[in-house]
Chain A
Amino acid sequence: MSVNATLNAQDQHHDDGHGHHHKETFITKYIFSQDHKMIAKQFLITGFAMGFVGILMSILFRIQLAWPEQSFYIFELLLGDKYAPDGVMTPDSYLALVTIHGTIMVFFVLTAGLSGTFSNLLIPLQIGARDMASGFMNMVSYWLFFISCVIMISSLFVESGPASAGWTIYPPLSALPEAIPGSGLGMTLWLISMAIFIAQSLIGSLNYIVTVLNLRTKGMSMTRLPLTIWALFVTAIIGVVSFPVLLSAALMLIMDRSFGTSFFLSDIYIKGEVLAHQGGSPVLFEHLFWFLGHPEVYIVILPAMGLVSEIMATNARKPIFGYRAMIASILAIAFLSTIVWGHHMFVSGMNPFLGSVFTFTTLLIAIPSAVKAFNWITTLWKGNLQLNPAMLFSIGFVSTFITGGLTGIILGDSTLDINVHDTYFVIAHFHLVMGISAVYGLLAGVYHWFPKMYGRMMNKNLGYAHFWITAVGAYGVFFPMHFIGLAGLPRRYYTNTAFPYFDDLADVNVLITLFAILTALAQLIFVYNFIVSIFYGRKATQNPWNATTLEWTTPVEHIHGNWPGEIPSVYRWSYDYSKMNRDETDYVIPGQDYVPQHIPLQPNEDELSH
């Protein structure tokens, strides 16, 4: 009842709006827009801009790792005299680069850029709503994100350098400017930027949750929602549960840094002086950080899983296999994700008994993940696969998710973690399972929903070139990393030349860097394709992929309120692809292998419960 009431109220409001059209100026349309579709594009493009910086940084430190302490013009050009005297990268700037690379990629690209973009774009369109529950809060959310980007980028230019204590910013290193120069003003800006980022994430997430719960159109029960919406909805819930904990950790760290408290600091002697701090514990910070940090990786991967499920079903012309199991596994992953954080801390000095508990919960999370992987593979089985670029990226997603996920069984086992903890084995694992996979999800989503965002199509052949180079390059970068990790090579080392034992890893590092450069260059194809297609791409038809979900019932040209007339009602789930009629003679709608969600039950159709 309440759902209908809200909907009607919205309809009415919208109809009222028709009478006196408020004039949209450039500013209200493109800058301070409250339209979810525009905000989605703002998130996407800001995310891409940050991603450009993040990837560029990774190339810089990869060059240093392959050819340590050699002079490169590009270092001199981009890092300047102070951070690369004579073109040789300093250890300071190496640590700053890895720190900011991690921060940008995890938070700014894969959290805001991925979930921000697609939550905004798809939630109202796929559930059948005119806009988000609060367009204003949505706008505030984006602009807070923008401010936090500006602050993070500006921290690159401060005198003492940006934060360089690793993206996990463990104190005391991050708390004491005496310990590392980056922990001065750079770290302060990092913390301010992240505090604002958390605020934007909370405002956004609350909005997504309320919208999904209250603004679904008539007939859109929770079990008829596309998996994208389930994933984005649960992601928002995890965000609301875990991000505030990071905020509290950040606030306590700010207190320790600037106001002399001792939450995380105790018994420290540095630069010839004993500090007054007493009684705090860095391990407490690790607990707080990872209480967000671990759910965060699911905040990153769940939206990608949702997008991939949707794209895969559409392009396989088949329902997603095991819809309810997919929802159940999203919920199971979400629940378990909040009780596994300790697996980052097996050797942190916490009680070994806790290690046992976290090993147990961590390996449990492999079960829903395995179910998802098997279900995706089965979705392909006996399909009629339309191998569009989005579909290829979705297949690529499943591939890297499996490869990266499997090594999680090693790292999640407290015993095995002892000797591979903080080595390149970990880098390989999480880049494949959450980095590359989530990026594939993001790219698949962009290729698939580009027509919805810009009313034009992206170039298919450039998309293919982009995918194949990326697919080869990503494995080229991260597969060999497992082996140098197993050789005991620690991460975050400026150079490995201090240990002659690692000399034979130099070749592998060169190989990895070459693949990394190749992969990064391939992204330029995408950038070109993206920009050119916005302006010159082929005009899209209303439903280019023959998909069932509601967003493809809206007109190509964006209008405020999404549907010109009434919001369509929903009569079925979103996966009626290739469904046959009762006598198995033809599709339910003859000659058309899909039945959109707003089409009522046909006379010769069996209703199936999924």
Chain B
Amino acid sequence: MTVFLIISVLALLGLTFWQMSKILKLSKPVSSDDPSIASDKDNKTQAYLLMAFTVFLYVFMFYNFWNYTDLYLPEAASEHGVDYDRLMFISMGVIIFVQMITQFLLHYFGWKYRGKKGQKALFYADNDKLEFIWTIIPVIVLAGLIIYGLFTWSDIMFVDEDEDTLVIEVYAYQFGWKARYSGEDNTLGKANVRFIEGVNTLGVDESDPYAMDDKITTELHLPVNKKVLFKFRSQDVLHSAYFPFHRAQMNVVPGMITQFGFTPTLTTEQMRTTDYMIDKVKELNEIRKQRTKELEAQGEMGLDPYEFDYYLLCNKICGVSHYNMQMKIVVEEEDEYEAWLADQPTFGSTIEKK
């Protein structure tokens, strides 16, 4: 019955449309001008709509910048991050400038030169000088950005490792992270997934003497102002270790070891007390309070209040729980770090226990 009803409704609708289109066709005025082609009147209306759209576009862009600029991450918490932010700031300045000018010209010309009967377009096919100018200007600007970018890139990526550099392995698996500290000998023991067995979840080579003092942890603690070199290893699929607050990211690739080094400059505590973060956390907690009210009204559990912590997240699609693959990062003073590390069991003691 329902099927029949639906079919008859559809049929009636179809009939209506057909009739309407017939009527529309008959009611069209007979004129030599094809109403499917823009007339002078259309050109005018559309040109003004184009202007209205331009206003919308600029207002919308302005609205976005006004409201969403403070969504940008807080000041960089790493040494190279300062350079990163400066380069970002300059590049953004350049592109916003170009965006504002070109969008205006494009839409303004669209309005200004709207078609009118009898108006003659200018036959203007070439101008070598003009084209040379707008080839050479991007060349110069881009050359500047490229050179600046490449110097920064080399500084960031080519880490000169010295005795003081702290080497930490970051180990990724579906769906979590582990950290392995190299211990007193400052050398990570060999590892391969083929050694994974029982408590040895990272596949550390039990016969390697360097491995015995390694420490495996579920939180990443870093001493402030000390260069850290991360060695990334994956157990299963591609992951990406993304440290947004430290302006650092590197893919984690099964079968090879990738690396990234940076020097954290702000402790978790320092970051929490920046104006930016105080405001941000306050705002977030407002949102969470609101949400909690709604949830409790539905008889569900509320949300915990939020306190800022650095985190490491996975930024390469890795499976169903990709969206929740995170590790807490604690950046602290050297002595706090040492104290924390001293509490962690060594790999040697872990395997003895079994």
Contact = CB atoms under 8 A, between A and B. Distances in A.
Contact count band on B: 35 or more
Contacts of A500: 284, 288, 303, 306
Interface string B53-66: 10011001100100
Contacts of B199: none
Contacts of A375: 131
B61 A267 contact: no
Given A267-B255, A367-B142, A538-B35, A399 B107 contact: yes
A77 interface: no
Given A92-B320, A480-B68, A501-B311, A267 B249 contact: no
Interface string B137-175: 011001001100110111011100000000000000010
B120 A460 contact: no
B220 to A, nearest CB: 16
A352 B247 contact: no
Interface string B68-110: 1101110000000001100110011011001100110111011
A487 B194 CA distance: 38
B2 interface: no
A483 B71 contact: yes
Contact of A349 (B99, B253, B287, B324): B253
A1 interface: no
A172 B254 contact: yes
B284 A380 contact: no
Interface stretch (B111-119, B330-338, B341-349): B111-119
Contacts of A385: 43, 47, 110, 113-115
Contact of B72 (A176, A279, A486, A504): A486
Interface in B305-330: 306, 308, 311, 313-324, 326
A363 interface: yes
Contacts of A610: 125-126
A182 to B, nearest CB: 9
A166 B315 CA distance: 12
Contacts of B236: 172, 176, 179, 268-270
A498 B157 CA distance: 30
B12 interface: no
B182 interface: no
A367 B135 contact: yes
B121 A415 contact: no
Interface string A399-429: 1001100110110011110110111000000
Nearest to B242: A490
Interface string A479-495: 11011101110101111
B322 to A, nearest CB: 6
B91 to A, nearest CB: 6
Interface residues of A, number: 133
Given A270-B174, A383-B113, A499-B326, A395 B107 contact: yes
B71 A486 contact: yes
A578 B156 CA distance: 56
A323 to B, nearest CB: 7
A580 B235 CA distance: 72
A495 B323 CA distance: 6
B208 interface: no
5 contacts: A418-B248, A464-B42, A486-B71, A490-B315, A544-B37
Interface of B: 17, 21, 25, 34-38, 42-43, 46-47, 49-50, 53, 56-57, 60-61, 64, 68-69, 71-73, 83-84, 87-88, 91-92, 94-95, 98-99, 102-103, 105-107, 109-110, 113-116, 119-127, 130-131, 134-135, 138-139, 142, 145-146, 149-150, 152-154, 156-158, 174, 192-194, 196, 203, 232, 235-238, 240, 242, 244-245, 247-251, 253-256, 258, 280, 283-284, 287-288, 291, 303, 306, 308, 311, 313-324, 326
